[in-house]
Structure 1
C-alpha cells in the first residue's frame, strides 16, 4: 500500500516525551511562582543583595529569566532523553520489522528469537515466530504434495501415450482399449481424490448434525461386496455418536478407513467398526487384522502418496491418498486422527471429533 511519508514512531515518541516534560516544567514553575506571589507574606523573599523584596511585580520579572532557562534545559534534555529512550524501547520492533521483510522476500526459515523477559514486544515476536514456523511447514508440505501429485499424474499420462503409440501398429485393439480404460480410471480416481483433499483443506463445506453410527452402517453396506471378495468379515457396533460436519466428507472418511481395513488384511481376517460418544467428543474406530506394522511405518501412512507398500496387494494399490484425505477431513472438522499398530498384527485407526 502506497502511503504519504510521515514522521517515524521514534520521532513521535521523542516529541511526546519532550512535550510532556515541558508541560510538567511549565506547570511546576507556574506553581512555584504562584506560591511565591500569592501565598508568601510580604518581605519573605530576599533579593540577591540580601534586601527584602516587597513588590510582587518585581518578583515575577526577576523570576522569568530563570523560568526560561529551566524550560530550555528541559526541552533539550527531553528531546535527547526521549530520543534515547524511544530507541531503546523500539529496538525489538526493528528486529520484528527486519524479520518481516526477510519473510516477505521468501525466507521463512528466519526467526526473530527475541531475548529477554516477556512483554508486549516479546509476545508479538513469539507469535510471529510461531506463524513463520507454521507457514514454513505448510509451504514445505504443499511443495512436497505438488511434486508428488505431478509425479503421480505423469505416470498414467505417460502410460497412455505409450499405449497410443503401440496402438498404431497393434492388431489387438480390444486389449489396448481395456488397458487404456484401466489407466484412465486410475487417473480419474487420483484427480477426484485431489479435489476432495483440496475441498477439505479449504473447509468449504456446510456443517450439519451427523450420526457417525449411521455413517458407519452406510459405508459398511457399500463395501460388503469388496469384503466378501477378499474373504474379510466386517463387524459394526457401538452407540449413536453425533458430530457437527459434512455428511459427505465424513462418509468419505469412513469409507476410506473401511476400504483400507479390508484391502490391507489377511485371508479370513476381520474388520471392526465401532462408534462411541462422550460429553465433549465422539469417536469412530476402525480396527483390522493383518501383518505386523512398525511404528515408524504407521507414522508415515497419513502422508500423501504414502501407500505402505510392504503391506499393499498389487491389485489394490490405490492412489496413495486414502489416509491423507482422512487426516485432512478430520482436521477440517477440528478433530484428531490416531493410528496404532496392534501387537498381533493389523492397525487401529481412531477419528475423534468434537460433539456438537
Structure 2
C-alpha cells in the first residue's frame, strides 16, 4: 500500500520532548512574570536599598526570558533526539531483523539484552516466531524433496517397463500390464495422501460432533479382513468419547493408525488394541500393537513424511510413508496431540488426545 511520507517516530518524540520542556519553561517564566506584576509596586521611594520599579524589572526581564526559552528549546531538541534514539534502539533492531526475514534469512535472531520490558517481550516473541518459521521452512523443504523423490520413483519404473516392452516385442503383455497397474496404483495412493495431508494442514473442513468410539469401530471393521489374512486379532473397547471435528478426517486418522499397527506387527498371532476414553476435557483414542522392539529415537522420527524406520520397508501393504504424518497433521488440525511410545514388550502405542465436546442427547 502506497502511503504519504511522514515524520519518523524519533523526530516526533524529539519534538514532543522539546515542546514539553519549552511549555514547562514558559509556564515557569509566566509565574515569575505574574509575581512581578502583583507584588512589585509601580513606584518605590528612592532609597539606596530600594529595588527598581516594576517597569525597569519588566524591561530587564523580557530579554532574559526570551533567551532562556531559546536555550530550553535547543536543550529539548538535542536531549529529546538523544533520548528518543536510545529508547527506539531496540525497535530498530527488530525492524532490521524483520527486513532480513522478509528477504528469506530466517536464521537471524534479535536476542535483545536488558530488563524484561515491552521491547524485550516483543523481541522474544519475534525470535520465537522466527524459530518456528525456520523449522517449518526446513520441514517443508524436506517434505518437498521427499515427495519429489517418491513421485519420481513410480514414473521412472513405468518408463523402464515401457522401454523393456518396446525393445522386446515378445515380452508377456499380461505381466507388463499387471506391474504397470501396481505402480500406477501406488502413484495414485501417494497423490491422494499428499492431497489429504495438504487439506489437514489447511484446516479446510467442516466441524461437527464426532464419537471416537464409533470411528474406532468403523476403522476396525473395515480392516478386519486384512488383519485376519495376516493372522492378527483386533480388539476394540472403551467409552463413548465425543469431540468436534471432521468425521472423514478423524476416520482416516484412525484407519491409518490401525493399518500401521497391522502392517508393522508380528508375522503371526499378533494383536491390535483400539480403545477410547474420556478424562476431564480430553477425549483419548489409543491404538497399540505387538511387534518388534523399537527405540525411542526411532519412534521420534516415525511422524516425519516418508519415514518408515528400521525394517519398515516397502511391502504390498506398506503404504507410501505418509500414514503417521497424516495422523499427526489431522490431530494438530483438531487442536489435539499425538504421542508415540514404544511398548516394553515390543510394538508401538499411539495415543491421540482431542478436546471433548458436549455429549448429544441421543447417540
TM-score normalised to structure 2 length? 0.93
Quote the Cα distance in structure 2 between the aligned partners of 1:135 and 1:59.
70
Matches within 5 A, 1:196-235: 196-235=196-235
User: Is contact 1:43–1:52 with CA below 8 Å preserved after alignment?
Assistant: no
User: Is contact 1:335–1:354 with CA below 8 Å preserved after alignment?
Assistant: yes
Question: Offset at 1:106?
Answer: 1.2
Matches within 5 A, 1:28-39: 28-38=28-38
User: Is contact 1:291–1:311 with CA below 8 Å preserved after alignment?
Assistant: no
Instruction: Report the equivalent of 2:127.
Output: 129
Quote the Cα distance in structure 2 between the aligned partners of 1:342 and 1:45.
106
Quote the Cα distance in structure 1 between the aligned partners of 2:58 and 2:246.
82
Quote the Cα distance in structure 1 between the aligned partners of 2:332 and 2:290.
26
Quote the Cα distance in structure 2 between the aligned partners of 1:142 and 1:264.
27
Note the aligned Cα RMSD (angstroms): 1.8
Question: Offset at 1:263?
Answer: 1.1
Instruction: Report the equivalent of 1:4.
Output: 4
Provide the secondary structure at the position in 2 that maps to 1:314. Answer: coil
Provide the secondary structure at the position in 1 that maps to 2:231. Answer: coil
User: Is contact 2:253–2:326 with CA below 8 Å preserved after alignment?
Assistant: yes
Question: Offset at 1:354?
Answer: 1.0
Cα displacement string for residues 8-50 of structure 1 (whole angstroms, at most 9, x for unaligned residues): 2111111111011111111111112112312x26389999x85
Provide the secondary structure at the position in 1 that maps to 2:311. Answer: helix
Instruction: Report the equivalent of 2:339.
Output: 338
Quote the Cα distance in structure 1 between the aligned partners of 2:240 and 2:163.
55
Provide the secondary structure at the position in 2 that maps to 1:234. Answer: strand
User: Is contact 1:264–1:312 with CA below 8 Å preserved after alignment?
Assistant: no
User: Is contact 2:42–2:55 with CA below 8 Å preserved after alignment?
Assistant: no
Structure 1: runs of 5 or more not aligned: none
User: Is contact 1:43–1:53 with CA below 8 Å preserved after alignment?
Assistant: no
Instruction: Report the equivalent of 1:240.
Output: 240
Question: Offset at 1:254?
Answer: 0.4
Structure 2: runs of 5 or more not aligned: 358-363
Matches within 5 A, 1:130-279: 130-168=128-166, 169-171=168-170, 172-266=172-266, 267-279=268-280
Quote the Cα distance in structure 2 between the aligned partners of 1:204 and 1:314.
32
Provide the secondary structure at the position in 2 that maps to 1:33. Answer: helix
Instruction: Report the equivalent of 1:85.
Output: 83
Quote the Cα distance in structure 1 between the aligned partners of 2:108 and 2:250.
38
Quote the Cα distance in structure 2 between the aligned partners of 1:347 and 1:337.
13
TM-score normalised to structure 1 length? 0.95
Cα displacement string for residues 79-99 of structure 1 (whole angstroms, at most 9, x for unaligned residues): 111011111111111111111
Instruction: Report the equivalent of 1:287.
Output: 288
Runs of 4+ in 1 over 6 A off after TM superposition: 43-47
